[in-house]
Structure 1
Amino acid sequence: MKKRQIDLVVISDVHLGTFACHADELLAYLNSINPKRLILNGDMVDTWQFTKKYFPPTHLKVLRKIMGMATKGTEVHYIIGNHDERLRKFSGTSLGNIHFVDKLILELDGKRAWFFHGDVFDISIQNAKWVAKLGRYGYDLLVLLNRTINWILIKLGREKYSLSKKIKSNVKGAVRFIQNFEHSVKELAINKGYDYVICGHIHQPKKEIHENEHGKCTYLNSGDWVENLTALEYTFKRWKLYRYSSDKLSPFFADEEIKGMDIHELLAATTINTKSPKKTKT
């Protein structure tokens, strides 16, 4: 099965190790692409809520898949976020083609791109981490409740409904926080002379051009794999916001038989070798 060749892919906020994570869908996406660079922009593994009691095989397969991509030549940059902050001690180190960093600056076809997770702009994390963690537990409970509601809605032939999105769009504080976050990131990027600024953290996928009296930049947010199931793709000197809900089978449209596949059939068609890679002597 032919994979899409992409210059650069950005994914963030996967939260492996939590009930909210959509590891199956992410695995299907990763199996459909062959990127030269893969940027994991924070919160890949949720160490805030990590427990040995819950880390399903599909979550482990995602990690193995990424390691396999690295061994086959994909340059992987792991930008550490707040939920995987325990990896901070590895910042600046590399494991083969996997590089752990706090931020990343790249030149893409003559333009400067600034990558970082985004938690540095979150006052609740910087000044009161326990509040942020408490909010995260409440968010996860909301997601679990939402899954139950959506299961019932599907059985009734109705469309899925997102409780968290509804709350975020109607609570003034949440809307104001997102707006302030995005505005601060854009303004700082222009002041620093970056053409692109790419982050995650707020689970709000977006691509837009921001301009002020000092210049302009393109703001990009990779979203998440909890609710939105989105990624950013850069190829042919252009950025695209990939949405699994509408684009999940687009890489395979050349094959008519695959158009009707569901997620389980797609995963079976793109099965990866789950054997642990051989250790090399150092």
Structure 2
Amino acid sequence: MKKRKVELVVISDLHLGTYGCHANEILEYLNSIKPKTLILNGDIIDIWQFRKSYFPPAHQKVLKKIIGLSAKGTRVYYLTGNHDELLRKFTDVHLGNFSLLNKLTLTLDGKKAWLFHGDVFDASITHAKWLAKLGGWGYDIMILLNRMINWGLQKMGKEPYSLSKKIKASVKSAVKFISNFETLCAEIAIENGYDYVVCGHIHEPKIESITTKKGTTLYLNSGDWIENLTALEYHNKRWKIYHHKTDYPSQMTWEEEVNFDYENQLIEQFMELIRN
């Protein structure tokens, strides 16, 4: 199968190391594309909920695949999020085609893009981290429960159901938080002259033009790989949201694995850093 060539891909909120992560689907997607630039926009490894007893082979393969893409010429930027904030003390590290940063600005066909995870605008993260961590554990449990419910619904021939989306849509404070988050990101981007502002964090994939009295910007959110299984792609001067559940060809069952010794060593060093 020929891989799709894409100029720029943004993925976020993989939450590797948690039960809710769809590592096999992430591998399917990464194996199906050949990006010039890959941006990992935070919460890639969930260090908050990291368990020494749970980091299965599929999760390790995702890391190996990312390193493999970098080794083969893809420019990879890892932008830290709140769940992998431990890595922020190593920011501004550059190793070949791989860079570890907190935020990133790019020029895309003459337009300025501002990319960051987004947790800096989340009061629950900045002022009550213990509460946010507790919520992360609860979210992981809810995702597991949701998978059990959907397994039963599938057996009965019914459509899957998303508990978290239902809760987000029905709880007014959650709806308000998402709206405020998007508006704040857009307002700051406009004030600083950015044509695009690209975030993750809230697990809500979106592309929306937002206008204020000071100007207009395109707000983009890459979503997540817990529920939505989405990515942002930029190609031929256009943005789109990739939905793995509908956009990935079902006939593509092959998998390209990366087995270079030096990549295995890097993974071991990286995992040791997290464990300590």
Q: What TM-score do the two structures reach when normalised by structure 1?
A: 0.92
- Who is 1:256 aligned against? none
| Shift in Å, 1:89 | 1.4
What amino acid is the match of 1:90?
Answer: F
- Report the secondary structure of 2:152's partner residue: helix
Aligned to 1:81: 81
Please state whether the residue corresponding to 2:73 is helix, strand or coil.
Answer: coil
- Please state whether the residue corresponding to 1:132 is helix, strand or coil: helix
The residue that corresponds to 1:272 in the other structure is 257
Shift of 1:277: 3.1
Give the letter for the 1:18 counterpart.
Answer: T
SS at match of 2:262: coil
Task: Render the CA deviation track for 1:57-108: whole Å, top value 9, x for unaligned.
Answer: 0000000000000000000000000000111111001122110001000000
Unpaired runs of 5+ residues, structure 1, are 250-258
Whole-angstrom CA distance in 2 between matches of 1:209 and 1:57: 40
CA distance in structure 2 between the aligned counterparts of 1:86 and 1:172, rounded to whole angstroms:
32
Give the whole-Å Cα distance in 1 for the aligned partners of 2:29 and 2:141. 26
Structure 1: how far apart are the matches of 2:156 and 2:222?
A: 32
Counterpart in the other structure of 1:199: 199
Q: Which residue of 1 aligns with 2:147?
A: 147
Partner of 2:67, secondary structure, is helix
State how far apart, in whole Å, the 2-side matches of 1:15 and 1:75 are: 21
Say yes or no: does 1:97 pair with 2:97.
yes
Q: 1:67 to 1:173 in 2, by over 3 A?
A: same
In structure 1, C-alpha distance between the alignment counterparts of 2:198 and 2:102, rounded to whole Å: 13
Once the two structures are superposed, the pairs formed by residues 48-67 of structure 1 within 5 Å of their partners are: 48-67=48-67
In structure 2, C-alpha distance between the alignment counterparts of 1:145 and 1:274, rounded to whole Å:
35
Paired AA for residue 76 in structure 2: V
Q: How far apart are 1:239 and its partner, in Å?
A: 0.4
CA contact 1:61–1:274 (8 Å) conserved in 2: no
Q: Tell whether 2:45 aligns with 1:45.
A: yes
Residue deviations 1:32-59 (CA, integer Å, cap 9, x gap): 0000000000000000011110001000
Paired position in structure 1 for 2:180 = 180
Instruction: Kindly report which structure 2 residues correspond to 1:1-282, keeping only aligned pairs within 5 A, or say none.
Output: 1-249=1-249, 259=250, 261=251, 266-267=252-253, 269-277=254-262
Distance 2:154 2:262 in 1: 40
Q: Offset at 1:273? A: 3.1
Question: Over aligned residue pairs, what C-alpha RMSD do you find?
Answer: 1.3
**How far apart in 2 are the matches of 1:273 and 1:110?**
35
What do the CA deviations read for 1:181-234 (whole angstroms, capped 9, x no partner)? 011011111111100000000000000111122110100000000000000000
Q: What is the CA distance between 1:275 and its match in structure 2?
A: 4.6
| Cα distance per residue 1:110-149 (max 9 Å; x no partner) | 0000000000000010011000001111111110000000
Supply the distance in 1 between the matched residues of 2:95 and 2:114 (Cα, whole angstroms): 22
Q: In structure 2, what residue type is equivalent to 1:276?
A: D
The question of whether the paired residues in 2 share the 8 Å contact of 1:80 and 1:88 is answered with: yes
Distance (Å, rounded) in 1 between the aligned partners of 2:260 and 2:5: 25
Q: Which residue identity is paired with 2:235?
A: T
In 1, distance between residues paired with 2:33 and 2:225? 16
Residues in 2 aligned to 1:148 and 1:69: alpha-carbon distance in whole angstroms: 34
Aligned residue pairs: how many?
265
Stretches (4+) displaced over 4 A = none
TM-score (norm 2): 0.94
* Alignment partner, residue 270 of structure 2: none
Q: Which runs of 5+ in 2 are unaligned?
A: 267-276
State the identity %.
Answer: 60
Structure 1: distance between partners of 2:175 and 2:45: 26
For residues 81 and 273 of structure 1, the distance between their equivalents in structure 2, rounded to whole angstroms, comes to: 26
Rounded to whole Å, the distance in 2 between the matches of 1:271 and 1:4 is 14
Which secondary structure does the structure 2 equivalent of 1:105 belong to? Answer: strand
